[in-house]
Structure 1
Amino acid sequence: MAITEKRSAARAPGRPRPRPKGRPGGARRRMLPWAMIAPAAAALILIQGYPLARLLVLSTQNFGPRSLFTGQADFVGADNFTALFGDPDFRAVLLRTLVFTVVCVALLMVLGFLLSHLLTGVSPWARVVTTVSLVLVWAMPMVAATLVWQWMYQPQYGVANWLLTKLRVFGDLTAYDWFSHPDQALGLVILLTVWKGLPFVALTLFAARGQIPEPLYEAARLDGAGTLQTFRHITVPILRPVLGILTLLEVIWSVNSFTPIWVLTQGGPDGRTTTLGVYAYVTAFSRNDYGSGASVAVVTVLILAVLSIAYVRRLADQGDEQGGPA
């Protein structure tokens, strides 16, 4: 009887339940997530934070060949950025980078989506062959892939000139130098960039497409929806987050593209294939103006940061709308 009364008194409302000994308090529980991500945050600060900070400092200095030996450079403030935005060559490079990025990303997303849709409708053996081919293209190092393209379009012995000449499509292209014409050289760089990046986009969209429940398409077909209607009202809305992430990644990679341009054309002819990545390299290491080259890199980082922040905020807003009350 006494034991029952003690249990009833312990369960009586209004009395605080005693906290077991050894249980962490609220402050400790709140600090636990921060403690768990602290090693990763410290690694990011060390690996990425310091180079970015050093880049910012370098962009405000007159850092030339003499500074490499003395370690001293004059502080010039925003003079490098003022000279950069006043340079007509930089404005041309910025516009060319925009065109290059838009064309590459548009082709990658359209062709990647079509190829992923093709993979869902072919037979299993055709899907395996296509997937293996895409993975092999993706796994090829960019330098090796660029050299292959350079050999393909070599004026004297390139297979592309030989094949086009045999087909009689554009006439006799024997000894035709594609890289001496700015528009054609830039077009070849775009084709190489799209060819190399297409496997990532196509396979990612194919994997995402496989996560859409098939009953949704069956219900849409029963309601009389056609291919375009199911694509517009089912496929695109569900894949929108994946499409957004892929677009952002391809924009970043296209803006920072350096290897295919440098190996194929080195920014030529007459700088007509130079983008921001190549322009920063040429300014810093060919002209030995490291401060101005750093300012070009800072501008590139700021442009990509603004795009990334805008996308993340938009994604967060969409998540809030979907998670809000109906």
Structure 2
Amino acid sequence: MIAPAVVALLLIQGYPLVRLLVLSTQDFGPRSLFTGQADFVGLGNFTEVFGDPDFRAVLVRTVVFTVLCVALLMVLGFLLSHLLTGVAPWARVMTTVCLVLVWAMPMVAATLVWQWMYQPQYGVANWLLTKLRIFGDLSAYDWFSHPNQALGLIILLTVWKGLPFVALTLFAARGQISESLYEAARLDGAGTLQTFRHITVPILRPVLAILTVLEVIWSMNSFTPIWVLTQGGPDGRTTTLGVLAYLTAFSRNDYGSGASIAVVTVLILAVFSVFYVRRISDQAEQGGTA
């Protein structure tokens, strides 16, 4: 019964992945696009990529970017899901509708809105901050010309766009926990933090594991917000692995090296996913045995 799904995955993901692996071992340049022939270089592309100081800086930046995005998403998502369980029904419906609208907005459209908000001359964010008179006159301030501010805005955009999925998933999972468990804990004198630690987190651990893996994959592969807002600039200071692979392949016409960067990204995510899922499974088994 799962054969159709397996075949579909092999066709949609298996073949492109194999083709990517083959391309990463070839000296595939503009000439190869016309001739269809490329010299086999083995691990030469990987050696060149790992020997590039810019690649190491991009790798560190990608890890930091991913960690910050995932940490903010999980913390804010948990807080928002907890808020949804305690508000009035009408407030819960309004909040859920707003979250769904944010989630349903295409990433390109959301990124363009974000870009307009922080436009130097006419951006509403600059206008509002100037009116508040906290940071001085920011009416002509260009956020995206400063690397740290630009990367911070990209992180905020990524978190804002991904927050509905995390919050609504945790809210749905939280609704499956019996209130009798919390009532029994309160009768035993447990406080909010104790019930959160000993009831909520253990029961939601499988959901948290899946969300963490998914958000790590999506954050590390984030391309649209970075490309639309900064195209990896200024001076490459907002470039991540996904953007670097695109620039290497399509701007420098070095398709083999671009493919090798993409393969490195896939391997990093695969190793993390396997390690994290196995660790969560071991913890679940130890908890079940105990």
Aligned residues: 290
> What CA deviation, in whole Å up to 9, does each residue of 1:111-143 have, x standing for no partner?
000000000000000000000000000000000
Residue from 61, 76, 79 that aligns with 1:96: 61
Conserved? CA contact 2:157–2:225, under 8 Å: yes
Distance, in Å, in 2 between the alignment partners of 1:182 and 1:323 is 47
Distance, in Å, in 1 between the alignment partners of 2:283 and 2:198 is 17
Conserved? CA contact 2:209–2:277, under 8 Å: no
Report matched runs for 1:40-55 at 5 Å: 40-55=5-20
Letter in 2 for 1:304: L
Distance, in Å, in 2 between the alignment partners of 1:244 and 1:41 is 24
Letter in 1 for 2:47: T
Alpha-carbon offset, residue 44 of structure 1: 1.3
Letter in 2 for 1:207: A
Alpha-carbon offset, residue 43 of structure 1: 1.6
> What CA deviation, in whole Å up to 9, does each residue of 1:222-254 have, x standing for no partner?
111111111111111111111111111100000
Correspondence for 1:163 = 128
Conserved? CA contact 2:111–2:228, under 8 Å: yes
Alpha-carbon offset, residue 310 of structure 1: 1.3
Residue from 55, 59, 64 that aligns with 2:29: 64
> What CA deviation, in whole Å up to 9, does each residue of 1:27-47 have, x standing for no partner?
xxxxxxxxx222222221111
Report matched runs for 1:5-154 at 5 Å: 36-154=1-119
Structure 2 residue 216 is matched with structure 1 residue 242: no
What secondary structure sits across from 2:2 in the alignment? helix
Higher relative contact order (CA 8 A, sep 6+): 2
Gaps of 5+ in 1: 1-35
Letter in 1 for 2:237: R
Correspondence for 2:220 = 255
Larger radius of gyration: 1
Report matched runs for 1:307-326 at 5 Å: 307-321=272-286, 324=289
Aligned CA-pair RMSD? 1.1
What secondary structure sits across from 1:192 in the alignment? helix
Conserved? CA contact 2:108–2:224, under 8 Å: yes
Correspondence for 2:256 = 291
Distance, in Å, in 2 between the alignment partners of 1:208 and 1:41 is 28
Conserved? CA contact 2:26–2:40, under 8 Å: yes
Alpha-carbon offset, residue 319 of structure 1: 4.7
Task: Give % identity.
Answer: 87
Gaps of 5+ in 2: none
Alpha-carbon offset, residue 314 of structure 1: 2.5
> What CA deviation, in whole Å up to 9, does each residue of 1:277-313 have, x standing for no partner?
0000000000000000000000000001111111232
Alpha-carbon offset, residue 323 of structure 1: 5.4
Conserved? CA contact 2:58–2:240, under 8 Å: yes
TM-score, L = length of structure 1: 0.87
Letter in 2 for 1:57: V
Distance, in Å, in 2 between the alignment partners of 1:153 and 1:39 is 47
TM-score, L = length of structure 2: 0.98
Letter in 1 for 2:260: S
Distance, in Å, in 2 between the alignment partners of 1:121 and 1:302 is 41
Structure 2 residue 287 is matched with structure 1 residue 301: no
Inter-CA distance 319–234: structure 2 relative to 1 (3 Å threshold): closer
Residue from 110, 127, 137 that aligns with 1:172: 137
> What CA deviation, in whole Å up to 9, does each residue of 1:43-79 have, x standing for no partner?
2111111111100000000000000000000111100
Residue from 146, 152, 156 that aligns with 1:181: 146
Residue from 191, 204, 207 that aligns with 1:226: 191
Alpha-carbon offset, residue 317 of structure 1: 2.8
Distance, in Å, in 1 between the alignment partners of 2:260 and 2:184 is 55
Distance, in Å, in 1 between the alignment partners of 2:131 and 2:288 is 60
Letter in 2 for 1:117: H
What secondary structure sits across from 1:44 in the alignment? helix
Letter in 2 for 1:314: R
Letter in 2 for 1:139: A
Distance, in Å, in 2 between the alignment partners of 1:322 and 1:185 is 43
